[in-house]
């Protein structure tokens, strides 16, 4: 089993103000992640419902739909994490959780921890983690997705050593995310979403987010 406190620092807004009425209403700090295996499986991006993504409730909270965690994680994996009867956020309830966390001013970090064993699910979990910290009308879905995509990729890079995620695999994921975003934009031509510069290279992502360079964290474009 693996356990890590993944760093998820706030990122600047990359999309128009109207996308989020309450941008970073509670700034993101970290996400507790547990993996039932000894390493993270590095599968490819799947834009459909990711497998074995479980936001476990730290304590009962009746305002969001929940299900038994083992149903989505599998009995054996759940047992390794001690989740025999634990409840998790229902997979269809990401928007419900985003609304209720904001309405109750309940920080996501005090509400959920994450259990998953694969890169695809971890990316989408971090994407959702960004969503939880940004409340708004969500009428411009490509813009909403761009902010969350960029956040998830930046956070994966920041935690790559903990995750044993090699830079080339991260860059492959970035390209997969960009392709998925461009396909989604074609389905929504009315969007006001800016060009996805932040997804086009690790240097572009770092420059636009401000995560690298001036803050002195890690420069993916450096030597």
Q: What are the structural domain ranges in the chain?
A: 2-209
Quote the pLDDT of residue 67. Answer: 96
**Among 166, 176, 155, which Cα is nearest to 44's?**
176
Residue 140, both tokens = 């411009």
pLDDT over 50 at 216, yes or no: no
Quote the pLDDT of residue 215. Answer: 45
DSSP SS3 for 190: coil
In this prediction the pTM is 0.93
Residue 67 CA to residue 83 CA, distance in Å, equals 12
Spatial contact of 127 and 152, defined as CB atoms under 8 Å apart: yes
Give the pLDDT mean for 85-95.
Answer: 95
Spatial contact of 130 and 28, defined as CB atoms under 8 Å apart: yes
Residue 19, both tokens = 């996308």
Which tens digits make up the pLDDT trace of 157-174?
989 999 999 999 999 999
Residue 33, both tokens = 């992640």
């Amino acid at each position: 089993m693996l356990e890590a406190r993944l760093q998820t620092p706030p990122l600047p807004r990359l999309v128009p103000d109207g996308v989020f009425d309450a941008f970073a209403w509670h700034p993101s700090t970290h996400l507790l992640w547990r993996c039932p295996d000894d390493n993270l499986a590095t599968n490819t991006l799947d834009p459909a419902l990711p497998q074995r993504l479980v936001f476990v409730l730290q304590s009962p909270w009746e305002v969001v739909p929940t299900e038994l965690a083992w149903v989505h994680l599998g009995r054996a994996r759940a047992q390794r994490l001690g989740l025999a009867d634990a409840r998790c956020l229902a997979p269809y309830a990401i928007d419900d959780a985003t609304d209720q966390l904001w309405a109750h001013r309940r920080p996501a970090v005090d509400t959920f921890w994450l259990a998953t064993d694969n890169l695809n699910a971890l990316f989408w979990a971090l994407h959702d983690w960004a969503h939880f910290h940004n409340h708004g009308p969500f009428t411009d879905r490509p813009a909403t997705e761009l902010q969350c995509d960029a956040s998830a990729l930046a956070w994966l890079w920041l935690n790559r050593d903990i995750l044993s995620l090699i830079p080339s695999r991260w860059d492959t994921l970035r390209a997969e995310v960009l392709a998925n975003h461009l396909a989604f934009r074609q389905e929504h031509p009315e969007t006001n979403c800016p060009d996805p510069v932040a997804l086009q290279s690790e240097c572009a992502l770092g420059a636009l987010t401000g995560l690298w360079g001036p803050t002195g964290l890690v420069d993916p474009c450096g030597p």
